[in-house]
Each structure stands twice: as C-alpha cells, then as structure tokens.
Structure 1
C-alpha cells in the first residue's frame, strides 16, 4: 500500500491536553437563599428611601404649620368659642350687660389657675405672676403674665392659649388679652402682660359643669420670623 501523502486530511495530530476544572456544587436552596437575600436588601433600601422622604416632608410641613397655626387657631376660636374666645355674635360687654339687666346672681366659687409654656427654640422666660385667683361666675378678674427675652437679639413672639377642662372653656371670656398679638422684646427686656377675664354666670346653671370647680388658663409663646413680623406690621 502506498504511503499517505503529506497533505492528507487524515494526518494524525498530537492529542490536546485536557485541564481538569474543579466542579463546585451549588444546591438549589443556596441559590434561592442568595436571591431572596438580595431581594430583601433591595426592598429594605427602597423602604429606607421612602421613610427618609416622608420624614423630610413631615419636617417641612411642621415648620410651615408653625407659622400658619396661630392665625388659623385664632379664627377657629372666634368661630366656635373654643378656649373662651367670644364669638362675634355677642361680645363680652354684651354678655355682662345682659346678665346685669337680668339680675343674675351666683354663689359658687371657682379657682382659676395659670400655666405658661414656650415652644422649642423660643429663648424667653415666660411665667404667670400669680398661681391662681378665686372668682364667682358673673365676676371679672385680672391676672398677669411676665415675659423676658433671655437672648442677645430682639425676639418677636406670639401666643396661643387654651382653657381646661375644654367643655368649660365656652364660659371663660377674655375681656383683655395679649394672645394672638405680636410681642417684640429687646435683649434682656421684660414685660408684664395683663389678662382681664369674665366667667359667664350660666356656668353655674349648666348641669354639664357640675363638679368642675377648677379651671386652668394656659398660654404658649412661639417665636415669629422677623421678616414676617415686619411685613405684618407694615
């Protein structure tokens, strides 16, 4: 048999070396666990971002609300009589005149106590000058609060108030009050602010007021942005 030609397709080639590759076994459970962990981490990241956005939005809303709360609260009190604000349909003077004409007389004694607070970031000392006064329904009384600016800069403040128990507030009428009025104090300045109030004699005849002999008048001062104060005064 003749030898194979050199260009034959059947030329023998040296064998290709085979390199052994280690085999790593990954169970289905391990793969699923890894996938689940990744999904859980991604879910936590999304939840954290949503929570952060919510908190930032809430903080912004609270800052804005702090400036809007006082006038809104004032209008609410005027419309409903809440906190002892006299509704527009009858002034305190009209009430007093009406009860004087009717000769309304009372004998029950009430104790009115006083409380003072300042909001966060308000560098004032604010306190009532007396702890309590005793008054009968149908009588008026005068009390004082003292405010002092303990900062090194002028501060403008405005106060809100409330009367507790809430159901008795409708009978607590303020004739003169510093609430809702801007008070500007220079560094170290101190002022006394009067509260002249009147307890409606109908308090004594209202069965809902049975057992209520103590009222608390509370004020809270808030810091007012100076730019807003200048704008409102102009």
Structure 2
C-alpha cells in the first residue's frame, strides 16, 4: 500500500478515536453535573459545595473535597452538645430559684422532724416540766448566759436587731426576750425567719414556748415592730454530763424576704 494512502487511513482512524474519546468525556462531565450540581435554594447548593469542577485543558471532571463531610458532621455534633448544655444550665437556674423559695418551709419541717436547732416543744410538755421543777423545789446555782444574734439575708431591706444583748437564766427557769424589726424600704415587705441554737448539743434543752420564727411578718414602709421570744431551759441540762463546761448559748435568727408588694 502506498505510504500516502496508509498515512491518510491512519490519520482518519486517529481522528475517529479522538472524537469518540471527546464524546465520552463530555458525557461523563454531564452525568457528574446532574449528580452533584443542581439548581435550588442557597442551603441546598451549599450542602453540596464539597463537589466542584477541576479544569484540565479541554476536559472538566467533578472532584470531591476531602474532609468536608467530616467537618460538617463535627459542626452538627458541636451544636447538639451546646444545645444540651444550655438546657442543663437553664434547668439548674430554675432548680436553684425553687430551692431558695422552698428553703424556709423545708428547714422548718426538718427541725420539727429531727429536733435540730431546738425544736419548739408542745406548750403542755413545757408547762408540765416547769410545774414539776417548781414542785420539786430543787435550787440550782448554775447560771447560763443566753446571747442573741440577728441577721437578714441579702436583698432584705430590713433593720433587724435583738432588743437585749443577753439574758441570764438557770436550768428550769423561763425567760422573755425581744427582737426589733423595721422596714427601711418604700414598699411593704413580707418576711419569714429561721433560727439556730449553738452549741448544737445544747439545743435539745432549749425550748421555745413562744416564738416568731417560721411565721410571716408583713411590715409597711417605715413600720417597726417588737417580736417576743419566750423560752425555757430544761432542768435536765444540769444533770447531763455532755453539758459540762457549757455556760453560754447563742440564739440566732435570720430573716428572709418572702414577698414584696408594689404600691
């Protein structure tokens, strides 16, 4: 076969092969576009931004960005954890607020159930002890100094002080003391007090016959009241060996704000 004719046939065959390759490449490119590129919302297009087109000469082929799917999943997990932490913190805040309002009644029930802080005894029981001690005629020389302390919680605009600093009483005797409260704000405020007796081991012998603790006290702006505390030291205080060396008892009250009325 002559060389020119052979060269022409080879050139024709090469052109057909090249055209077929170009057609296949274009077909693959269109399939890639239909699979990874589509018209839609901005969010939809962004979701598939991991696919792009890489230009190599005449041909264009889609390629995948490594790590993009992992980065997307990591952001989703981080957002879920942040949302859960926000829920936990919100619940904790509400729980703390609820505990603050429930602290006073819960403390009262705890004292009544366990005797902590010197639980108020029944009036009949205390009177029976006083009568029995009077009939016995036993005279004790031991004297106990009962000191008084007063506090208010944060945000409580009251002036709250004991009228007397201390009272001296013997086991088996009763005594009367007073506390003074004054509302220093311009709005009516309702408060409630809790108490504590120290040392704690002496609290079981400290009986309050009359007390303003765990009772709501409402004071108008500038109003001042005197609140009595009538208490009794059990005569068994003297015979208990655990009370040896205890000659001072501190009675403390703390007022908390329950409600504030707007004028």
Is structure 2 residue 139 aligned with structure 1 residue 109?
no
Residue 186 of structure 2: aligned partner = 152
* Change in 2 beyond 3 A, CA 1:79/1:94: farther
Q: Give distance in 1, aligned partners of 2:86 and 2:241.
A: 51
Q: Give distance in 2, aligned partners of 1:103 and 1:51.
A: 68
Contact kept? 2:172, 2:235, Cα under 8 Å: yes
* Change in 2 beyond 3 A, CA 1:50/1:110: farther
* Change in 2 beyond 3 A, CA 1:98/1:129: same
Q: Secondary structure at the match of 1:84?
A: coil
**TM-score where L is the length of structure 2:** 0.67
RMSD: 3.5
Question: Greater CA deviation, 199-208 or 68-77?
Answer: 68-77
Give 4+ residue runs of structure 1 displaced > 6 Å after superposition: 42-45
**TM-score where L is the length of structure 1:** 0.75
Listed as ranges, the gaps of 5+ residues in structure 1 are 20-30, 228-234
Listed as ranges, the gaps of 5+ residues in structure 2 are 19-55, 58-66
Is structure 2 residue 212 aligned with structure 1 residue 178?
yes
Is structure 2 residue 235 aligned with structure 1 residue 201?
yes
Is structure 2 residue 227 aligned with structure 1 residue 220?
no
Q: Give distance in 2, aligned partners of 1:153 and 1:70.
A: 22
Residue 57 of structure 1: aligned partner = 91
* Structure in which a larger fraction of residues adopt helix: 2
Q: Aligned-pair distance for 1:203?
A: 0.7
Question: Could you say which structure has the greater relative contact order, defined with CA pairs below 8 angstroms and 6 or more residues apart?
Answer: 1
Residue 119 of structure 2: aligned partner = 85
Contact kept? 1:71, 1:180, Cα under 8 Å: yes
